[in-house]
Every structure is written in structure tokens, then in C-alpha cells.
Amino acid sequence: MTREEPAGADGTSPAPARHRPSWWRMLGRDRAASAAAVVLAVTTLVALFGRLVIGDRAQRQDLDASLRPPSLGEGVYGLLGTDVLGRSVLARLVDAAATTLSVAVPAVLCSLLIGSALGLWAGYHGGRRESVAMRVADVILSFPSLLVAVVVLYVFSPSALNLVLILAVARIPVYLRTARAEAAELRSRLFVDAARTFGTPGREIIRRHILPIALPTLLTVATLDFCFVMLTESSLSFLGIGIQPPDVSWGLMVAQGRQYLQTAWWITVLPGLAIVLTTVSATVLAAWARIATDPAQRWRLTLPVKRRGASAAVPPEMIP
């Protein structure tokens, strides 16, 4: 009984090829991720266009209305209460959104880009390049970033641009180390070896095989870092070398309201909430993106929520 294998028969080929479900569908099926997307979209819109709507409301003082608690009876701008100078907290939140994001987003993006590029390059090539890159990272990390920021911002003028630059440089090592670790692990994978046997140049291997796999992790680290950058910015602003009043950021609002914490909680808690909400949304969305970009995992996103296995957004060792 001899059986010739018919050419082209590998019996149980699954029926039609599984195509990628659309992004919208995958997002729609994940309630947490869609909520996060909505929050981020709203925050972005507010940051971009909020100032056009509120005009100078964020600066308009009204000492008679000092420290009013949030209420429904005081019109839109009284909705979230007022601060010690009687300025509308809602208006200030809207105004601060623009400032906060205009510092945090460029800072995070800069450090993400530079740190990841260096880290992937160092990790893939290994050897001396790796040592040099890692020593640079160690040097940056060995200075307390806040101290460096204080010195630099004290010497140069405390402008938003300088703030972005100093925050970006201070956070480069975080991405550099993560990216290097990922790349060093991935470079010994067989499919990287396979690509090398085709003669694929290093930069192409990094772009094609290493970056797409490392990217979700890096993005998740970036969203966590987003929070750190916002808080650092608020500390610097509190010290008077960050955002300069009359400009206002969420961090600065938290700092300024601290002394009224016992009498007027809303001045601190609401901007704090804005920071937390934005960061959590970014993290949730990053976790979703991590699954959605993985062909072996993304089918999970088309299932009802409770059937999905739990998957950590970031492996614990990646958290800086």
C-alpha cells in the first residue's frame, strides 16, 4: 500500500485565509480601549481648540468668587468650582491641557525616537557599539534628572522649548535600555538569522524584524513615561523654572492648589484626575495596540471580553 502524496496536498489547510479585521472593528469590540480612545481624542481636541472657546476665561479673576466649590448653579465655568483668585477651574483645565500636552508630547516623542533608535542599533550590533551606548545611558541616569533640569533651566531661560529638551534628554536612557534589551534578544532569533542569510543589511533587519516587535513595548513604556514627564514638568513649574505663570499646566495647577488641599480639594484633585485619566487611557490604548498589531493575537480582540486571557500591558522588567 503505497501512497503518493499528491503535489499540493497538505490536507487540512484551514478554509479561507484569515484577513485582518478592521481596526475599527477591533477597537469597537474592546470597551476599555474604545473608552480610552475617546478620552484621548477629547483631550487632544480640547488642547487644540479649547483656547478658542474659552478666550481669556482662564486668567479672568473674580475675588468675590474665590474658592467656590463645583456646582451646577454657576453656569458652565462654575461647573468645576473656582480657585483662590476666583478663576474658573474648568477654563484653567482647558487652558492647561494645551500647555501640558505641548510640553509632554514633544518631550516623550523626542526621547522615544532618539532612545529607541540608539537602543535598537546598539542591541542589534552588540559589541563595542552596545557598550558605548549603554555607558552614555548610565551617565545620563547617574545624574538626578531633576537636579540637572534645575541647573540647566536656571542657567538658560526657563522656556517651554528648553523644558522639552531637558526632559527629552533625561528620559532617553529609559527607551535606550528597553530597546537594547529587546533588540539583543531578537537578534539571536532564527528569523533574524534567516534574514542575514539573504544578505539583508543591518538597518533593514532592524526596520523589518526588530522594530515591529519591539515597538509595542516601547510605546507602552512611552505612555508610562508620559505620566512621569507631566509630573516632572509640574515639579519644575512649582520650583518656578518650568511653565511660567500666567501660563498654566496641569502639574502647575496641582502644585499651586496644594496649600488649599484641605479647604478646596477640587483645585488639586481635578487637574490630578486629568493627568491620571490621560495616562491611563494612553496605557490602555497601548496595550490594545500591542495585541492588535500581533497577527497571532489579534483574533482575541474579536471575542467577547471575558473570554480573553489576561495579558499584561508591559512585562514587569520593562518598567523603568
Partner 1 sequence: MPEIRSGSATDAPRADGPEVPPPLLEVRGVTKTFGGGRRRLTALDGVDLRLGKGETLGLVGESGCGKSTLARVLLGLERPDAGTVRFDGTDPFALRGKDLLAWRRRVQMVFQDPFASLNARMSAADLISEPWRTHRDVVPGAKAREKRVRELLSLVGLRDGDAHRYPDEFSGGQRQRIGIARALALDPDLIVCDEPVSALDLSVQAQVLNVLSELRERLGVAYVFISHDLSVVRYISDRVTVMYLGKVIEHGETEDVFDRPQHPYTAALMSAAPVLDASYAGGDREIQLKGEIPSPFDIPSGCRFRTRCPRAEDLCAAEAPPLVVRRAREASDPHTALCHFPLEAESAWA
Partner 2 sequence: MTTTAVPAAPSADTPALDVEGLCVDLSTPSGRLRAVDGVSFSVRRGRTLALLGESGCGKSMTALSVVGLLDPAAEVTGGAVRVRGSDTLRMSPAERRKLAGPVLSIVFQDALTALNPVQPVGRQIGEPFRIHRGLSRREAREKAIELMTRVGIPEPRERARSYPHQFSGGMRQRLLIAMAVALDPDVLIADEPTTALDVTVQAQIMRLLRDLQDEREMAVVLITHDLAVVAQRADDVVVMYAGTVVEEGPVREVFSRPRHPYTRGLLDSVPEHAVRGRPLPAVPGSPPELSAVPSGCVFQDRCPLVRERCVRERPPLRASGDGRSAACHFSEELARA
Residue 208 as a binder of partner 1 (CB under 8 A): the answer is yes
Residue 2 as a binder of partner 2 (CB under 8 A): the answer is yes
Task: For 82, list phi and psi in degrees, rounded to 5.
Answer: -130, 165
Residue 209 as a binder of partner 1 (CB under 8 A): the answer is yes
- Closest approach, Cβ 121 to partner 1, in A, equals 19
Exactly one of 11, 73, 127, 316 binds partner 2 (CB under 8 A); that residue is: 11
Residue 16 as a binder of partner 2 (CB under 8 A): the answer is no
Q: Of 69-77, 102-110, 246-254, 295-303, which part binds partner 2 (CB under 8 A)?
A: 295-303
Residue 200 as a binder of partner 1 (CB under 8 A): the answer is yes
Residue 1 as a binder of partner 1 (CB under 8 A): the answer is no
Using an 8 Å Cβ cutoff, are 28 and 36 in contact? no
1 binds, among partner 2, partner 1, none (CB under 5 to 8 A by kind): partner 2
Q: Is the Cβ of residue 9 or residue 190 nearer to partner 2 in the bound state?
A: 9
Exactly one of 72, 307, 316, 317 binds partner 2 (CB under 8 A); that residue is: 307
Instruction: Retrieve residue 39's grid coordinates.
Output: 478620552
Q: Across the strands, what pairs with 88?
A: 82
- Closest approach, Cβ 307 to partner 2, in A, equals 6
Sole residue written with cell 515597538: 215
Instruction: Retrieve residue 159's grid coordinates.
Output: 522656556
Q: How far, in Å, CA of 119 to CA of 270, rounded?
A: 37
Residues 270-299 that bind partner 1 (CB under 8 A): 293-296
Residues 139-158 that bind partner 1 (CB under 8 A): none
Q: What is the DSSP letter of 108?
A: H
Residue 306 as a binder of partner 2 (CB under 8 A): the answer is no
Q: Which residues contact residue 89 at a Cβ distance below 8 angstroms, ignoring those fewer than 6 apart? A: 70, 80, 81, 82, 83, 266, 267, 270
Using an 8 Å Cβ cutoff, are 116 and 175 in contact? yes
Amino acid at 122: A
Using an 8 Å Cβ cutoff, are 291 and 301 in contact? yes
Q: Of 27-35, 44-52, 277-285, 301-309, which part binds partner 2 (CB under 8 A)?
A: 301-309
Sole residue written with cell 500647555: 99
- Closest approach, Cβ 288 to partner 1, in A, equals 17
Q: How far, in Å, CA of 285 to CA of 291, rounded?
A: 10
- Within 10 angstroms of residue 278's Cβ, the number of other Cβ atoms is 26
| Residues within the interface to partner 2 (CB under 8 A) | 1-6, 9-12, 14, 299-300, 303, 307-309
- The footprint of partner 1 (CB under 8 A) covers 5, 7-10, 12-14, 16-19, 189-191, 193-201, 204, 208-209, 212-213, 293-296
